[in-house]
């Protein structure tokens, strides 16, 4: 370029500049055109190739073929279906009309391609190649390569259209707003099959993982565009949808068709229904009002006990009678204690056999931290146990029974908090948040939110952590680890040995091992046949076994020694505004079926919400057998935890669950970071919750009236909420508990007694010094 200024350049190079500008303009035009072209091409490609491939009817056809196979030949199928499906009648006839017509067409197509010169369309050859494929039925079609398969599918579409007068793509489509989990594909397919089997008509179902957010769901549903099946997790979320008026009441239908409240785990009931209200306003109020009617606290808690007792299921009108049911559990979520059996054995520590106490667990963890993990890493005793759960397990409740006040500042909570802090900062058996973050980081994957938890499980899998609180869904990751690190190398080694051996038995074993290997490679959840499993187990040497993750499962230790699980269910709710309510309710019924619940249990998707399918012989110990080392994933502890020790979340009509979680969470964070002590944390949380409830009551007259009706006293916005509730209770008890009134007499004194739980000396001092003339304080 010329070194002169721009202006002179214009004079000198005016001509060339003009030319270059023109070139620029032309170039720009072409670039724009090119971009538009690329965009058009991509769009066309999307419509022409990608979208048709996602055509839904392939899955429906697959369901038809599978069901036809399952029900056997056309001759005796009618009777079978009449037994299985309650609807019976014409729809099933049409099912078989379609299948029979299709069978003819399929035979013709097969004959054609065979006369073309055999080739790949020979079903027999596929049957040999794919174990488990039947020769006689129709499901072999599904195993064909896509190009071959499409001819059969096209034939099916035609048959269907002829038989029903409508296209396959016109079949109703249910939308289920659930997560993006591979297991859902299996589950939706199961539903299509189940529906065909029981109702004889096809129904399609798709998942919608990107619209699970509650706000979206509510807005979409009120606009009439919501999912047909809404997913909720836990009682609080269910109540949001109920309050928003988008949840359909399925109580009667559920009772009639056998998927009522009484069929699910007691602790999961509040996740699928709410107690029937006496008046129109607010659902949770009814719970409290019932209890106020009984007047006495003990009775109220007795009722509560009955609610969570599976045996008390059909008292009076049954539990189903007092509940309004809105959904059905897809599964139930909670975590138990995992531990490494080999690590315990090495350290010479006995494995926990039944419920155990925190003190025992800490002692064990302390001994374990003295050992060194693989590669010279320091051993971590226990991970993933939180202050929240520890306090709940110790008996520290956020709210009293009817949710009118927080009673969190109890000796139980304080003790749990103290133990929790001590585990990190005194006993050093659990990493503090800073240590955990650093360890998470050393894995390299710890960048996003939630990665700390993911990395805690990775540290456990690496045997750095000896004990870890985890869920049954972690089977897949642990099984893959065992598979890739131990089982596959062992199989390969054995296959190498067998390669030289031309004997018949060797060939047989090699074939078995190879098929097992292939099945495991595809998915660790595919059940192996008994022979395959035996062959696979046979190749594991003692040394291999020592390198496996050898999992033990036990109850989560608690301060009291009685296990406690805070459980909630992931549930499906029927959208009240859905035009496909009928099908959606059938889906709930499907959720109560054996087919679905076995699938949940067998794929280690936590456990199902129906105790009947967990405790029977085939229950969670059924196929597939867990891979070697992970047998404990079928441990009875899982079902026991849910059946005997789980409790639902306690809710209050006066404070939102999320707000409560936020208020408590902030304080617990400081507790976890050792910034405040146990007593202070408990007191702060209680104060904050009570202050929030108070604020809500003062603002909302309806809420206030409800509160006053429940408690039985007029709300005094100045006085401590807990004090008011306690005092009202004592009055109801007829002045029997004067001790209590001494405790909660004056607003000031409540502090002293609460925060001096074990120090009588301090309390005396305080009393002596601080005898202010409050009415009850003087009396005391």
Partner 1 sequence: MIGSTRKRLLIALAFLLPNLLGFLVFTAWPIVYSLWLSVTDFSLTRHNELSGESPAFVGLDNYARLIAGDESHLFWDYFGNTVFLMIGIPLGIAGSLGAALLLHAPTTPKKPRARVVGAGIAGVVTVLACLGVWALTEPGPAPEVAVMSTEVGLTDLSAHRVAELRSMAAVLAMATLGVLATLGMAFGSIFFRAIFYLPSLLAGVAMFLLWKTLYRPRGGLINAGLQPMLDRLQWLVERTPAWLWYGLGILLGLAAVAWALRLMWVGIDRLRHGEAGIGSLFGRMLLVGSFVAMSLVIALAVVQLPARSLLPTGYTALGADECSAVLDGLAQRVPEMNRAEVALTLNALPDPAPYADVRSALLADAALRGEPSVVERELAGVREAEFRGHTAGDGLSAPEWLISRQWAKTALVIMGVWLAIGGGNMLLYLAGLANVPPELYEAAAIDGASGWQRFIHVTWPQLAPTTFFIVIMSTIGGLQGGFEQALVMTEGKADTIVLAFYIYQLAFTDQFQLGLASAVAWVMCAMIFILTAINYRLGSKMTNE
Site for partner 1 in 450-469 (CB under 8 A): 464
Smallest distance from the beta carbon of 238 to partner 1, in angstroms?
Answer: 11
Which range of residues in 399-407, 414-422, 547-555, 579-587 is near partner 1 by CB under 8 A?
Answer: 414-422
Euclidean distance between the first and the last CA atom of the chain, given in angstroms as a whole number: 98
Among 78, 489, 656, 740, which residue sits at the site for partner 1 (rule: CB under 8 A)?
A: 656
Among 299, 354, 748, 771, which residue sits at the site for partner 1 (rule: CB under 8 A)?
A: 748
**For the window 613-652, what string marks contact with partner 1 as x by the rule CB under 8 A?**
----------------------------------------
Q: Which is nearer to partner 1, 5 or 503 (CB)?
A: 5
Q: Which of residues 187-216 bind partner 1 (CB under 8 A)?
A: 213-215
Smallest distance from the beta carbon of 668 to partner 1, in angstroms?
Answer: 10
Among 614, 678, 715, 721, which residue sits at the site for partner 1 (rule: CB under 8 A)?
A: 678
Among 38, 74, 167, 695, which residue sits at the site for partner 1 (rule: CB under 8 A)?
A: 695
Among 125, 222, 541, 731, which residue sits at the site for partner 1 (rule: CB under 8 A)?
A: 222
**296, 305, 288: which is closest to 736 by C-alpha?**
296
Q: Which of residues 315-344 bind partner 1 (CB under 8 A)?
A: none
Please give the Cα distance from 562 to 702 (Å, whole number): 40
8-state DSSP, 589: H
| The two three-digit tokens of residue 261, written as one number | 């409240």
Q: Which of residues 415-434 bind partner 1 (CB under 8 A)?
A: 418, 421-422, 425-426, 428, 431-434
Burial of 353 (0-12, 13-18, 19+ CB in 10 A): exposed
Please give the Cα distance from 774 to 780 (Å, whole number): 10
Phi, psi dihedral angles at 410 (to 5 degrees): -120, 160
How is 311-356 classified by DSSP, letter by letter? GGGGSTT-HHHHEEE-EEEEEEE--EEEEEHHHHHHHT-PPP-S--
Smallest distance from the beta carbon of 45 to partner 1, in angstroms?
Answer: 27
Q: Which is nearer to partner 1, 92 or 340 (CB)?
A: 340
Please give the Cα distance from 260 to 256 (Å, whole number): 8
- Does 8 engage in binding with partner 1 (CB under 8 A)? no
Among 131, 134, 299, 442, which residue sits at the site for partner 1 (rule: CB under 8 A)?
A: 442
Among 471, 625, 752, 774, which residue sits at the site for partner 1 (rule: CB under 8 A)?
A: 752
Please give the Cα distance from 572 to 53 (Å, whole number): 28
Which range of residues in 56-64, 393-401, 608-616, 682-690 is near partner 1 by CB under 8 A?
Answer: 682-690
Q: Which is nearer to partner 1, 89 or 717 (CB)?
A: 717
Among 1, 6, 49, 449, which residue sits at the site for partner 1 (rule: CB under 8 A)?
A: 449
Which range of residues in 485-493, 523-531, 696-704, 721-729 is near partner 1 by CB under 8 A?
Answer: 696-704
327 forms beta bridges with 573
| The two three-digit tokens of residue 311, written as one number | 């045996």
* Number of neighbours of residue 703 by Cβ within 10 angstroms: 20
Q: Which of residues 761-780 bind partner 1 (CB under 8 A)?
A: 761-762, 765-766, 769-770
Among 28, 662, 705, 714, which residue sits at the site for partner 1 (rule: CB under 8 A)?
A: 662
Sheet of strand 229-233: strand arrangement: 204-207, 173-177, 229-233, 568-574, 327-333
CA distances from 255 to 133, 264, 592, 754 (A): 39, 12, 12, 47
Among 414, 416, 528, 610, which residue sits at the site for partner 1 (rule: CB under 8 A)?
A: 414
Smallest distance from the beta carbon of 546 to partner 1, in angstroms?
Answer: 22
Q: Which of residues 244-263 bind partner 1 (CB under 8 A)?
A: 244-246
Contacts 24+ apart (CB under 8 A), 759-762: none
Residues that bind partner 1 (rule: CB under 8 A) add up to a total of: 81
Please give the Cα distance from 185 to 541 (Å, whole number): 37
- Does 747 engage in binding with partner 1 (CB under 8 A)? yes
Q: Which is nearer to partner 1, 483 or 683 (CB)?
A: 683
Among 8, 43, 301, 438, which residue sits at the site for partner 1 (rule: CB under 8 A)?
A: 438
Please give the Cα distance from 417 to 178 (Å, whole number): 36
**For the window 697-736, what string marks contact with partner 1 as x by the rule CB under 8 A?**
-xx-------------------------------------
**For the window 557-576, what string marks contact with partner 1 as x by the rule CB under 8 A?**
-------------------x
Q: Which is nearer to partner 1, 464 or 610 (CB)?
A: 464
Smallest distance from the beta carbon of 323 to partner 1, in angstroms?
Answer: 20
Q: What is the 3-state secondary structure (H, E, C) of 463-512?
A: CCEEEEEECHHHHHHHHHHHHHHHHHHHHHHHHHHHHCCCCHHHHHHHHH
Smallest distance from the beta carbon of 366 to partner 1, in angstroms?
Answer: 13
How is 360-382 classified by DSSP, letter by letter? HHHHHHHHHHTSB-GGGPBPEEE
Looking up tokens 């409508």 gives 166
- Does 502 engage in binding with partner 1 (CB under 8 A)? no
Signed CA dihedral, 211, 213, 219, 224: sign only: positive
Please give the Cα distance from 437 to 456 (Å, whole number): 10
Q: Which of residues 367-396 bind partner 1 (CB under 8 A)?
A: 373, 376-378, 380
Q: Which is nearer to partner 1, 41 or 695 (CB)?
A: 695
Q: Which is nearer to partner 1, 325 or 369 (CB)?
A: 369
Smallest distance from the beta carbon of 670 to partner 1, in angstroms?
Answer: 7
- CA 361 to chain centroid: 27
The angle formed by the CA atoms of residues 274, 685 and 398, to the nearest 5 degrees, is 30
Q: Which is nearer to partner 1, 141 or 467 (CB)?
A: 467
Smallest distance from the beta carbon of 674 to partner 1, in angstroms?
Answer: 5
Burial of 454 (0-12, 13-18, 19+ CB in 10 A): middle
Do the beta carbons of residue 658 and residue 214 sit within 8 Å? no
Q: Which is nearer to partner 1, 177 or 263 (CB)?
A: 177
Smallest distance from the beta carbon of 718 to partner 1, in angstroms?
Answer: 8
Smallest distance from the beta carbon of 720 to partner 1, in angstroms?
Answer: 9
- Does 128 engage in binding with partner 1 (CB under 8 A)? no
Among 58, 562, 737, 755, which residue sits at the site for partner 1 (rule: CB under 8 A)?
A: 755
Which range of residues in 315-323, 514-522, 605-613, 655-663 is near partner 1 by CB under 8 A?
Answer: 655-663
Give alpha helix (H) positions in 504-567: 504-522, 530-538, 542-547
Peptide bond into 367 cis (omega under 30): no
């Amino acid at each position: 370029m010329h070194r002169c200024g721009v202006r002179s350049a214009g004079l000198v190079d005016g001509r060339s500049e003009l030319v270059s500008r023109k070139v620029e303009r032309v170039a720009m035009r072409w670039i724009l055109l090119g971009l538009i072209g690329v965009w058009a091409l991509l769009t066309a490609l999307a419509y022409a190739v990608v979208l048709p491939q996602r055509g839904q009817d392939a899955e429906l056809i697959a369901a038809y073929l599978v069901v036809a196979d399952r029900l056997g030949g056309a001759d005796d199928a009618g009777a079978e279906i009449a037994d299985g499906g309650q609807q019976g009648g014409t729809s099933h006839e049409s099912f078989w009309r379609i299948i029979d017509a299709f069978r003819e067409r399929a035979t013709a197509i097969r004959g054609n391609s065979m006369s073309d010169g055999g080739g790949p369309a020979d079903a027999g050859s596929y049957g040999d190649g794919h174990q488990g494929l039947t020769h006689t039925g129709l499901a072999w079609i599904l195993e064909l390569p896509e190009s071959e398969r499409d001819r059969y599918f096209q034939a099916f579409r035609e048959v269907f259209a002829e038989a029903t007068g409508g296209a396959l793509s016109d079949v109703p489509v249910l939308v289920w707003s659930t997560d993006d989990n591979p297991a859902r594909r299996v589950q939706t397919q199961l539903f299509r099959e189940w529906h065909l089997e029981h109702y004889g008509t096809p129904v399609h179902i798709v998942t919608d993982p990107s619209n699970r957010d509650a706000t979206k769901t509510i807005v979409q549903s009120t606009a009439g565009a919501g999912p047909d099946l809404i997913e909720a997790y836990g009682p609080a979320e269910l109540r949001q949808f109920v309050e928003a008026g988008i949840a359909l009441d399925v109580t009667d239908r559920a009772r009639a068709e056998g998927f009522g409240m009484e069929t699910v785990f007691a602790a999961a009931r509040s996740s699928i229904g709410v107690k029937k209200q006496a008046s129109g306003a607010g659902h949770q109020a009814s719970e409290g009002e019932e209890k106020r009617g009984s007047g006495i606290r003990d009775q109220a808690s007795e009722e509560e006990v009955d609610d969570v007792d599976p045996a008390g299921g059909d008292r009076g009108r049954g539990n189903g009678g007092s509940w309004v049911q809105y959904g059905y559990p897809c599964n139930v979520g909670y975590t138990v204690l995992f531990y490494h059996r080999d690590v315990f054995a090495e350290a010479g520590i006995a494995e926990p056999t039944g419920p155990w106490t925190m003190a025992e667990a800490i002692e064990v963890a302390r001994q374990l931290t003295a050992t060194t993990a693989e590669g010279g890493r320091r051993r971590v005793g226990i991970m993933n146990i939180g202050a929240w759960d520890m306090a709940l397990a110790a008996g520290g409740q956020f709210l009293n029974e009817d949710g009118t006040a927080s009673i969190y500042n109890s000796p139980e909570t304080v003790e749990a908090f103290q133990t929790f802090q001590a585990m990190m900062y005194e006993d050093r058996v659990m990493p503090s948040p800073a240590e955990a973050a650093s360890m998470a980081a050393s894995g390299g994957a710890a960048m996003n939110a939630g990665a700390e938890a993911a990395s805690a499980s990775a540290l456990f899998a690496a045997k750095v952590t000896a004990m870890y609180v985890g869920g049954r869904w972690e089977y897949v990751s642990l099984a893959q680890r065992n598979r890739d690190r131990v089982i596959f190398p062992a199989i390969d080694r054995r296959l190498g040995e067998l390669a030289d051996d031309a004997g018949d038995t060797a060939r047989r074993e090699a074939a078995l091992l190879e098929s097992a290997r292939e099945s495991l490679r595809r998915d660790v959840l595919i059940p192996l046949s008994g022979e395959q499993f035996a062959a696979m187990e046979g190749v594991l040497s003692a040394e291999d076994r020592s390198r496996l993750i050898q999992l033990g499962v036990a109850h989560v230790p608690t301060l009291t020694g009685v296990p406690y699980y805070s459980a909630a269910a992931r549930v499906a709710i029927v959208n009240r505004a859905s035009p496909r309510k009928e099908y959606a309710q059938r889906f709930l019924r499907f959720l109560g079926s054996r087919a679905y619940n076995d699938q949940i249990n067998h794929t280690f998707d936590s456990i199902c919400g129906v105790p009947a399918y967990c405790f029977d012989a085939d229950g969670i110990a059924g196929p597939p057998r867990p891979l070697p080392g992970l047998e404990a994933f079928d441990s009875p502890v899982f079902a026991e935890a849910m059946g005997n020790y789980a409790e639902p979340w306690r809710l209050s009509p006066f404070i939102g669950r999320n707000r409560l979680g936020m208020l408590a969470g902030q304080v617990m964070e400081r507790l976890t970071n050792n910034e405040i002590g146990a007593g202070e944390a408990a007191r702060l949380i209680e104060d904050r919750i009570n202050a929030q409830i108070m604020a809500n009551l003062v603002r909302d007259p309806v809420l206030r009236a409800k509160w006053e009706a429940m408690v039985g006293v007029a709300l005094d916005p100045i006085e401590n909420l807990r004090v008011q509730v306690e005092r009202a209770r004592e009055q109801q008890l007829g002045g029997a508990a004067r001790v209590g009134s001494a405790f909660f007499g004056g607003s000031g004194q409540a502090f002293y007694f609460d925060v001096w739980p074990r120090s009588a000396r301090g309390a005396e001092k305080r009393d002596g010094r601080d005898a202010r003339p409050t009415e009850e304080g003087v009396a005391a």
